[in-house]
Structure 1
């Protein structure tokens, strides 16, 4: 098995982009999901309800964050010193506001007033204690530092989707791309689809990770990242083949044992 791709998302629920290598920090890939978008009342907004956010591409050059989108010219973000408490999941977290220019730029994209917030101190947010250790931390990702998927599992899922379409007398749709699932690391060369369900630990290059739990999937996977429209897949097919505990599952969540670097092509070993 090998590391097929690395993707990171500087701003939660905006477009991701691939990188050839990345630094793994205790709370996730360096720079991954350190920013998020809120409404005027500091409620977190995501592409689940605001699909247009996927039109924003955020890139980091050192500590400088630049936003690009279809509605305005590029903007380099300059955080302020103003802190506010935002509920990220079930955890209140102090975040730094990124100023009026970033708010105006993103509000133009979203079509209503929003603010950009920055997690200046990534040690503030603990991992769910039911699945992590007291010292484990996570950035602004949904729950855990990294999300892993496999090429083999996506291929099987796309086969199921095509089979379901034929059973309904429909034309099989184009295969879903992996970016629907927004993983940080995609693993190629896995012998069996969904083999990752049974992994307890995994080594990517020289970095060891603990597997916390499978990733239960939400409506965001049904949003086409190119058109920002919602459909029924993949949740309809996952509900048929991958449903238990009242949820549907695709991918696994990871916590790194220690910092390190990973790169495309690195060997991957399930421990």
Structure 2
């Protein structure tokens, strides 16, 4: 579910076009805003960044545009990396439209909470973290209430990474805590509606025609099928190590 099995970047883009497009947008905006510092990019950043004072004055589009903007390369890479790991399975399960609704809906809920709770003054924020935590909210909903959609090993990965991310939310400086917390709550709240009539994630579904054969996922694997012994901890420590390294680098740069 969270281990990429695509043979090439082309396959990843073909199977998960929404996730791929969002990642391209993140990196393209960083390129034109931070690296090249093009006037058009800088103007877009100033126009689209979340700012409570400007939102209070009626610039409500900032509640959405701030989701695709980031503060520097490491910020964009970190959120893009998380999206590349945890987004594809949900895009396949929900479909393109509902995935976009889930992603931006959770991000919007997190940004609205930020606007309502933080001071109306010049509090500014950018980043897709609230939307990413919204994806975690959907996964946690599956772990708690829709066990037929996720097996035990992947549930353990989700809960472990979510807990680490939540702890880091309160430990790292310059984090929009309300976007993280309420983005998660938004994703969890939207999950009941979005998960109606969905099928579990299956890599095989990417490689066959829609009407060919039956769904290969067996709901009973929650009890019977597990990852090979010792593989789940290795996956956890690899992901954890990457997150820690990225976090340390972001503090240095």
Whose helix proportion is higher, 1 or 2? Answer: 2
TM-score, with normalisation over the residues of structure 1? 0.24
Whose strand proportion is higher, 1 or 2? Answer: 1
TM-score, with normalisation over the residues of structure 2? 0.26
